[in-house]
Amino acid sequence: MIVKYTMSDSGFSHTFPAVRGIQAGRPCYIAMCPMRIIPKLFKFDEDEVPAELRAQRTINKGRVPEISTYLVNNSSNYTLSSLTASVDAMVNFEPMSDTGHGQNIGTLSIPMDAQILINDGQHRRAAIESAIKENPELAYDNISVLFFIDEGLSRSQQMFADLNKHAVRPSDSISTLYDLRDNISELARHVQKHVHTFSRLTEMEKSSISNRSIKLFTLSGIKNASKALLHKGTKDSVSKEEKDLAVLFWNEVASNMQDWQSTLNKKVNSSELRQQYVHSHAVMLQAMGQIGHDLINFDTNWKKRLIKLDSIDWARANKDWNGRALVHGHISKARTNVMLTGNYIKQHLDIPLNLIEEEAEKAFNHE
C-alpha cells in the first residue's frame, strides 16, 4: 500500500486507501499503514503530563522489548492487531463512487499538522519502531489502523476506557493450547496427549476447574509441572528424549495414584475427589514435577520409589497437609506451599531434601 502526500487548501496531507464505517453514529475509517510511517505518524502524550490530562496510560517500557523481539524473531510469521487512534482535525474522505459499496471505499486524507494520538496500541507502536531498527525489512510490512475523529480530550479518555474495559487476558491453559511457537507449551501438549490419565481428565481451556467439572487437571498445571520436571527455562528447547522422559514419568506417577485411576474409570466423581483430597490440585502436580527432577537424578531405579505414592494419606482431613498444601483450609499453590508439599512427599518416598528444602522444613517445624 502506498501512502501519498497531497497538497490541499489547508496544506499537505497524508492520504491512505481506506474503508469508511459508522460506530455509535460517528464516522470512522480503517486503513493499512506501512510500518515505516507508524513512528512518525502517531504521537504519545508525554509521560510527564499528569494522568488526568492524558488520553491514555503511560507506556510500560518493560513490555516493548518483548513485542519487538517477537516481531524480529517471527518476521515471516507474526500477527499484530489494529491500532486505534484519534485525529484532532477535519479529515477528507473521497469515495470511489456515490452509490453502492464504493461509497464507503476510497481515500482518506489527514492533514500533516493534525495530532494523531493512539487510544489503543501504544506498546505496539513503540515495538514497531524498535523492531524496524533491528530488521529494516519490517518497515515494508503493514498494520491496520482504525481512525476516529477526535472530539476532545474527554472523548479520547473515554475511548481508552471503553477499549480496555472488556479486554480479557486469555487463560494460561488456552494460551498453552494455541501457542505453537513456545517450546514449553509444546511439551505440555505432548505430555497431555500421551499420558493416558491426562488425556482424559485435563481441562484444556481454563486454568481453574469448576466444582461441577469432570476434569482433574488443567493444561497450564501440566505445563508448569513438566517444566519443573525437566528443569527448563521459559525459552529453553526441549528434545524428543526429554519429552519421552516426561511422558514416562507422569505415566508412572498416574499408575500409582489409585484415586486418579478410579476417576478415570468413572468409579469416583471428579468433583468429590477434588473436594476431599489434595492430590488432584496444581500444588501436588507442581510438587511432583520438582520431586521428579531430583528423583530421576538421584535414583536410576526411580520407578520403584513411586510405588509408595499410593500409601500417602492424600485426604484434606489429614492434618499433616495444614501449612503445606492447605492454608486455613484452602488449597495453596504458592511457592513455599509447593516446596513444603514436596518435602512431605519426598519424606514418604525416602528421597533426601536439598539444602533449601531442609531450611524450609526447619522454618515450618519451628512455627
Q: What is the mean pLDDT of residues 267-282?
A: 93
Confidence of residue 58 (pLDDT cuts 50, 70, 90): low
Residue 11: per-residue pLDDT: 66
- Which position has the higher pLDDT, 208 or 241? 241
The SS3 assignment for 222 reads helix
- Best-predicted range by mean pLDDT (87-101, 167-181, 248-262): 248-262
Q: What is the mean pLDDT of residues 79-96?
A: 89
83-87, 126-130, 273-277, 337-341: segment of lowest average pLDDT: 83-87
Q: What is the mean pLDDT of residues 213-230?
A: 96
Q: What are the pLDDT digits (tens) for 97-130?
A: 988 888 999 999 988 888 888 878 888 999 999 9
DSSP conformation letters of 136-180: GGGGGSEEEEEEEE---HHHHHHHHHHHHHT--PPPHHHHHHH-S
Q: Which residues lie across from 111 on neighbouring strands?
A: 13
Task: Say how far apart CA 87 and CA 127 lie, in whole Å.
Answer: 22
Residue 168: per-residue pLDDT: 67
In the structure grid, which three cell numbers stand for residue 75, read together? 518476521
Residues 6+ apart with CB under 8 A from 40: none
In this prediction the pTM is 0.70
Q: CA neighbours within 13 Å on the CB side: how many for 209?
A: 25
Q: What are the pLDDT digits (tens) for 334-366?
A: 999 999 999 999 999 999 999 999 999 999 988
